[in-house]
A and B are shown apart, each in its own frame.
Chain A
Amino acid sequence: MNVNRRNFIKTGSAVVAGSMFLPPLLQSCQNVKISESVKSYLDHFEVSVEMLQKVIAAAMSKGGDYADLFFEHKISNSLGLEDGKVNRAFSNIDYGVGIRVLKGDQTGFAYSENITLDDMLNAAKMAASIANEKSVFSPVDCTEKMPAAYYKINRQWDNVVVADKVPFVQKVNDKIFELDNKVIKVNAFMNDETSYVLFYNSEGRLTYDYRPMIGFGAVCIMQRGEQIENSYAARSFRKGFEWLDDSVVNELAQEAVDKTNILFDAVKPRAGEMPVVMGAGGSGILLHEAIGHTFEADFNRKGTSIFSDKMGKKVAESFINIIDDGTLENNRGSINIDDEGNDVQKTYLVKDGVLNSYIHDRISAKFYNVAPTGNGRRESFRNIPIPRMRATYMEPGPHSKDDIIASVDYGVYVDNFSNGQVQIGAGDFTFFVKSGYLIEKGKITQPIKDINIIGNGPKALADITMAASDYLIDNGTWTCGKDGQSVPVTCGLPTVLVKKLTVGGTNA
């Protein structure tokens, strides 16, 4: 094996091409007939199958039921524009291996930033101590598992130089200034990330993934008289450099300007409960907060979720289908293989209004005796995998957007959000509305801004009484945090009516 580090950065680059080809047949590693793709990952991390097996044996040495190794090399780059110029760049390299041992539903975990046999064996011994029996682990034959190919790209980000990216960031600034003379400042950013992942477990599964990511956006700051307002637009995908073009720049610039412009005449709604119409797209934050987190099976396994005993029960109107999907092409929330080496799938959480599936990692799938759903994800090799969402959305419904708005006497229409949160046990969830509109007597009237909306998950889900056919995925830079770990996700929704939520506002 070639363990020259210089070489291996190049090998790493070649890997993308490899992963875009159709996978070869499953092969046994013991015969050294592993695919070129997986070999390039082994080379990348300067390890051999024999080394992986030694580390797994150490991890299992105290009687663990299961162990896995998660190697990761992540290269992140960022460009920033302030005061008219692309005048800052940041980069980060993160590299290491996480070693996990399970004993029942107990977890031992350690990681090493140095991928040498000695360092890995030390970490493996630490993780092994979750179990404490004398045990001899007999190695299992290695089986190569080919990942899916949900994000094919042409030009990968770790081969793109700063000079090639700068013009796009500059252009979005110039375009925003061109669009409106109230613009006083623009902050633009471009973040790209390349992640190489290699996975091996005590069941012999050997797999890998190459994960590209791009995030591009701008904050627009405008002044009218004394009043200063800002808003932003951003897009994120698992796409390559070829995604960047002038149409992306123009779309971002226009959206940032439009979103900021409506804030100048925005009012606050009156405080209290009222109907809320959630516009198509980013309103999927409703599903993420109100339902998604409370469906994560770690909470349900511990009985701490408000949905803990609702499996198979009717939780919503029958036209409602809610999905968590890791397979959408080039989507920010997609993964070719989850961080526990399992296939990713399109999972129906709610089917025809009935709670159909939780969101599982390995531990919870075993607890519930179901097949893994491919939701075991982790922020990096430094963290243990836990059940996490991917792209969470609702399928189109039977109503029309116009009918939905017309049905509301006094309420709000919201479609632009900055953040949300949920309390798993109480089920109370919130999302912050950056901008939206009042609905008065069935018509959209004045803009609103900067209000928090709060509701209760099960009640809100049951209170979705209308859904339109205009389903849309929002491709913003959504990042979900849980147990101190951040992972990229997306969300989507058709226009829906939630009969009643508590809206922040003023009391006359």
Chain B
Amino acid sequence: MTKEEKYNLAKWAMNHALQKGAQEVSVSIANSRSSSVEIREKKIDKLEQAIQSGLTIRLFVDKKYSAHSTNRLKKEELARFIEQAIEGTKYLSEDEFRTLPDPSLYYKGGQNDLNVLDKEFASVDPQKKIDLAYAVEKEIFGTDDRIISISTGYYDGMEERVLVTSNGFEGDSANTQFGLYASVSVKSGEARPESYWNESSIFFDKLKKDNIGVTALKRAASKIGQAKIASGKMTMIVENKVASRLVSPLISALNGSAIQQKNSFLIDKLDQKVFSDKLTITDDPFIVSGRGSRLFDGEGLATKKRAVFDKGVLKTYYIDTYYGKKLNMEPTNGGTTNLVFETGDKNLEGLIATVKKGILVTGFNGGNSNGSTGDFSFGIEGFLIENGTIKQPVSEMNITGNMKTLWSNIGEFGNDVNDSSSWLTPSILFEGVDFSGI
């Protein structure tokens, strides 16, 4: 579907809903294309292609609310779908807080392009994609007797969206992604440790295409001899690639729904010092070619650069229109864009060198955290550090504690930001973490 076709259909659906009894309506239409190829044993293992389209309509009917989506986009069927949806909505309870956003908060245009779309998406040669995946395999195929399995792959995708609302918003966005990966298993005794490495980019030309297989193999081989060690309270360094696992419970606790539904350990903490003064995070939607960059959110609200934590002080919640009304707070945005961390001056090796005894966590294995209390417990794997050097790989261990304590015990941040994610996490050193092992 062209952009114009999407706008036309979205407006048609919106008008149909308005005619059939909805007072306010928002409609979004997204379509995407993707392809992927996976290589095993010098052969194509899987070749997949996909094109999809879908429409989502949010209905506000007599102060009642519902949302519906479908991939059946013929007008005759859509009309019936919308009519049935409106009819069903009438049997819900009224919810006075449900409205479209205040139009003055909508994105009005005029910002610079954030450059998150590769306009050459469609022109990448399909054979080239397959060759790239083969090249990743070739880096390591037959290079190490311990290898028992290598899977490598290429994937790409483009998504285009339009959003229209009955109180005046119209906006569209599009983005692309390209990636290459390798997954490697090695054998040593009974265990068959595996590891994975992935490179991705918004632009095909900027996709890093080498050293992917080599890195995956190195990471898998470094796990040979993994064992758990004695339980104890130790220093923990969390590698940049996986640090988001510990950031995620913080962000969930800032969500308007969690605050209003009492499922957050950060209720009523705005402008208070809640964590270590080493913690400064900014939400920046305007980074050119940032993975989370956007000019408006899912409701059409204009994005804004915001401090999230400033030297340990909580500066913002993520509030959408609905929970803003319920909490009597100004809406911010429904979710994160790019999270920028204030970093330190050491790389990962530099951080490791400062540790007398501790564990470098390179992977998480299950676990969860309690939204209302901040209690957490996660499975981990990584490496034992003694006197500033890595001693042995560890696995089958847990870390357990509380988010409030953990983030108050930051030792320091690395300078090694993971820029292949919208959460630009560096490696992070925490003091005094409870590890369970033997």
Q: Could you list which residues of chain A lie within 8 angstroms of chain B, going by C-beta atoms?
A: 5, 79, 82-83, 85-96, 105-113, 126-127, 129-130, 161-163, 166, 184-185, 187, 221, 223, 227-230, 268, 271-273, 289, 302-306, 308, 382, 384, 418-432, 449-456, 458, 502-507
Residues 17-55 of B, flagged 1 when their CB comes within 8 A of A and 0 if not, give: 000000000000000000000001001111111111100
List CB contacts (< 8 Å) of B119-157 with chain A. 148-149, 151
Q: A89: which B residues are within 8 A, CB to CB?
A: 65-67, 88-89, 92
Among the interface residues B48, B148, B376, B378, which one has the most CB atoms of the partner chain A within 10 A? Answer: B48
Q: Which of B162-170, B297-305, B430-438 contacts A (4 or more CB under 8 A)?
A: B430-438
Q: Are A93 and B71 in contact (CB under 8 A)?
A: yes
Chain B residues with CB under 8 Å of A112's CB are 51
Given contact pairs A185-B261, A426-B191, enumerate 16 new A-B contacts (beta carbons under 8 Å): A79-B92, A86-B92, A89-B66, A93-B71, A108-B48, A162-B88, A163-B91, A184-B262, A273-B438, A289-B366, A302-B40, A425-B193, A432-B366, A450-B375, A452-B368, A505-B400
A106-B44, A273-B438, A430-B365 in contact; A91/B85 too (CB < 8 A)? Answer: yes
**Chain A proximity of B160: nearest CB distance (Å):** 16
Chain B residues, CB < 8 A from A432: 366-368, 377
Give min CB distance, A426 to chain B, whole Å.
Answer: 5
B409 on interface, CB distance cutoff 8 Å = no
- On whether the beta carbons of A430 and B366 are closer than 8 Å, the reply is yes
Report A146 CB to chain B, min CB distance, Å. Answer: 29
Contact between A450 and B373, CB atoms less than 8 A apart: yes
Q: A506 near B434 (CB under 8 angstroms)?
A: yes
- Taken together as a complex, chains A and B put the C-alpha atoms of A346 and B378 apart, in Å, by 34
Partner of B69, one of A93, A421, A423: A93
Query: By the criterion CB–CB under 8 Å, are B91 and A504 in contact?
Result: no
Given known pairs A130-B44, A303-B192, the reply for A452 and B400 (CB within 8 Å) is: yes
Contact B66 A90 (CB under 8 A): yes
Q: Which residues of the other chain, B, contact A127 by a CB distance below 8 angstroms?
A: 47
12 residue pairs A–B, Cβ–Cβ below 8 Å: A85-B93, A87-B95, A89-B67, A106-B45, A228-B373, A271-B435, A271-B437, A418-B368, A422-B365, A452-B377, A453-B398, A505-B400
Check B46–A107 contact: CB distance below 8 A: yes
* B363-386 to A contact mask, C-beta < 8 Å, 1/0: 001111111110111110100000
Task: Pick the residue among A92, A228, A230, A454 that contacts B365 (CB under 8 A).
Answer: A454
Q: How many Å from the CB of A481 to the closest CB on chain B?
A: 12
Main secondary structure of the interface of B (DSSP, over half): strand
| B371 smallest CB distance to A (angstroms) | 8
* Closest residue of A by beta carbon distance from B68: A91
Q: How far is the CA of A426 from the CA of B231 in the complex (A)?
A: 20
Which of A96, A305, A449 makes the CB contact (< 8 A) with B375? A449
Contacting A at CB under 8 A, from B96-111, are 98
The smallest beta-carbon distance between B432 and chain A, in angstroms, is 10
Find B47's partner among A82, A130, A425, A431 (CB 8 Å cutoff).
A130
Q: Is A430 within 8 A of B88, CB to CB?
A: no
Which B residues from 309 to 330 make CB contacts under 8 A with A? 326
Partner of B68, one of A90, A108, A268, A289: A90
* Residue from A94, A228, A507 within 8 A of B262 (CB atoms): A228
Query: Quick one: given A105-B45, A502-B436, A507-B434, are A430 and B379 in contact (CB under 8 Å)?
Result: yes
Q: How far is the CA of A223 from the CA of B263 in the complex (A)?
A: 11
Taken together as a complex, chains A and B put the C-alpha atoms of A111 and B361 apart, in Å, by 40
Q: With an 8 A cutoff between CB atoms, is B354 at the interface? A: no
The one of B71, B194, B233, B371 that contacts A304, using a Cβ cutoff of 8 Å: B194
Asked whether, in the complex, the Cβ of B70 is within 8 Å of the Cβ of A426, the reply is no
Closest beta carbon of chain A to B260's beta carbon, Å: 8
Interface string of B329-370 (1 = CB under 8 A from A): 000000000000000000000000000000000000111111
Most buried by A among B72, B148, B187, B371: B72
Q: How far is the CB of B417 from chain A (nearest CB, A)?
A: 26
Q: Are B47 and A129 in contact (CB under 8 A)?
A: yes
Instruction: Fill in one digit per residue for B53-83: 1 if any A CB lies within 8 Å of its CB, else 0.
Output: 1000000000011111111100011000100
CB of A228 within 8 A of CB of B46, answer: no
Binary contact track B400-438/A, C-beta < 8 Å → 1, others 0: 100000000000000000000000000000000011111
- Looking across the interface, which residue of chain A has its beta carbon closest to that of B363? A423
Q: A5-B77, A109-B46 are in contact. Are A308 and B366 (CB under 8 A)?
A: no
B77 vs chain A, min Cβ distance (A): 7
CB contacts (< 8 Å) of B4 on chain A: these are: none
Determine how close the nearest CB of chain B comes to the CB of A386; give it in whole angstroms: 10
Q: Please determine whether B396 and A454 come into contact, CB atoms closer than 8 angstroms.
A: yes
**Alpha-carbon gap, A504 to B368, bound state (A):** 11
Tell me if B291 counts as interface (CB < 8 A to partner A): no
CB < 8 Å: which of B89, B149, B437 contacts A272? B437
Say which residue of B68, B263, B375 sits within 8 Å of A230 (CB atoms): B263
Residues in B neighbouring A421, C-beta threshold 8 A: 365-366, 379
Across chains A and B, which 5 residue pairs bring their CB atoms closest together, nearest first?
A430-B366, A271-B436, A421-B366, A504-B398, A85-B93
Measured between beta carbons, the chain B residues less than 8 angstroms from A425 are 185, 191-194
Chain A residues whose C-beta falls within 8 Å of the C-beta of B379 in the assembled complex: 421, 428, 430, 452, 454
Task: Kindly state the separation between the CA atoms of A228 and B52 in the bound complex, as whole angstroms.
Answer: 43
A113-B53, A303-B192, A450-B375 known; A419-B95 Cβ under 8 A: no
Pick from A162, A185, A426, A502: contact of B91, CB under 8 Å: A162
Known: A88-B95, A503-B398. A93 touches B81 (CB 8 A): yes
> Do residues B69 and A92 form an inter-chain contact, with CB atoms below 8 A?
yes
Q: Cβ of B95 and Cβ of A221 under 8 Å apart?
A: no
Is B228 an interface position by the 8 A CB rule? yes
Partner of A427, one of B70, B191, B369: B191
> Which residues on B sit within 8 Å (CB–CB) of A422?
365
Tell me if B397 is interfacial: C-beta within 8 Å of chain A. yes
Q: Which of B45, B223, B400, B437 has the most CB of A within 10 A?
A: B400
Q: Are A109 and B48 in contact (CB under 8 A)?
A: yes
Q: Tell me, yes or no, whether B211 is within 8 Å of chain A by CB.
A: no
Find chain B residues with CB under 8 A from A87 CB.
64-65, 92-95, 98
CB of B71 within 8 A of CB of A426, answer no
Q: Report A-chain residues with C-beta under 8 Å of the C-beta of B398.
A: 271, 430, 451-454, 502-505
Chain A residues closer than 8 Å to B192, beta-carbon distance: 303-306, 308, 424-426
Q: Which residue of A lies closest to B230 (CB)?
A: A272
B372 to chain A: closest CB distance in Å? 5
Complex contacts, B370 vs chain A, CB 8 Å: 229, 449-450
CB distance from B67 to the nearest CB of A (A): 5
Contacts of B204-220 to chain A: CB distance below 8 A: none
Q: How far is the CA of A109 from the CA of B434 in the complex (A)?
A: 47
Tell whether A426 pairs with B434 under 8 Å between CB atoms, given A502-B397, A504-B399.
no
- A185-B397 in contact given A88-B65, A89-B92 (Cβ < 8 Å): no
Q: Which of B93, B232, B233, B379 has the most A CB atoms < 10 Å from its CB? A: B379
CA distance A58 to B69 in the complex (A): 32
